[in-house]
Amino acid sequence: AAGVIQSPRHLIKEKRETATLKCYPIPRHDTVYWYQQGPGQDPQFLISFYEKMQSDKGSIPDRFSAQQFSDYHSELNMSSLELGDSALYFCASSLIQREAFFGQGTRLTVV
Amino acid sequence: SQQGEEDPQALSIQEGENATMNCSYKTSINNLQWYRQNSGRGLVHLILIRSNEREKHSGRLRVTLDTSKKSSSLLITASRAADTASYFCATDTINTGGFKTIFGAGTRLFVKA
């Protein structure tokens, strides 16, 4: 069965650079979530989309933005990267208010 | 602060024993979900319980929900070494701003063979 695909799996960027993370949800899922998980931390909700419209925002820095495209894939853009942005970034998709399925995550390292 | 708070933060048991993890939350919810995460990997959905349900079972898992106390528990019976992982509860909320799923701090479970 198709799962949530995230790319890239690993990314190394320097401070002040920009990074773009991509997420391809499970076909026919109408909801996409983005989470950030620091080392030893719980997943922190960043933002969600329902039917390509932003649904809610969590603790997402102003340097970050996200969007969902007509083909339902989503991208998380991070600018002016800081060392503290190093984390695992997870995307999840679901049918609204149903169980979410997570991708394997993108490990971002800022040096 | 996070919507869900879990206890204990860490739990170490012997194989074959039962493991109980608790989750409390602050606001009204639509659903509560439990997830499992192996170190550095994606989260795997275990079970979803709706706000009008009180108990749910799935294999060796038993989840309870007490909306009056704003708490839930996950019981893993007859634990196995392969159950070693972090377990998170997540609450689904809908408000005028939209909907979100918020994760608690997680319980790190270690099952000794």
Per-residue pLDDT tens over the stretch A49-89: 989 998 888 889 999 999 999 999 999 999 999 999 999 99
Query: In this model, does residue A93 exceed pLDDT 90?
Result: yes
* Residues A86/A78, Cβ–Cβ less than 8 Å: no
CB proximity list for A29: less than 8 A, separation 6 or greater = A72, A93, A94, A95, A101
Task: Locate the chain B residue with the closest alpha carbon to A36.
Answer: B103
Residues of chain A contacting residue B106, judged by C-beta atoms under 8 Å apart: 42
CB pairs A-B closer than 8 Å: 66
State the amino acid at position A9 in one-letter form: R
pLDDT, chain B, mean: 89
Average pLDDT of the residues in B61-89:
96
Which of A67-76, A94-103, B19-28, B100-109 tops mean pLDDT? A67-76
Q: Which of B37, B23, B83 is nearest to A102 (CA)?
A: B37
- C-alpha span between A67 and A70 (Å, rounded): 10
- Name the token pair of B35: 């997830």
Predicted confidence band at B27 (pLDDT cuts at 50, 70, 90)?
Answer: confident
CB within 8 Å: A98 and B98: no
CB within 8 Å: B103 and A42: yes
3-state helix, strand, coil in chain B (%, to 5): 5, 60, 35
Using the Cβ of A97 and the Cβ atoms of chain B, whether some distance falls under 8 Å is answered with yes
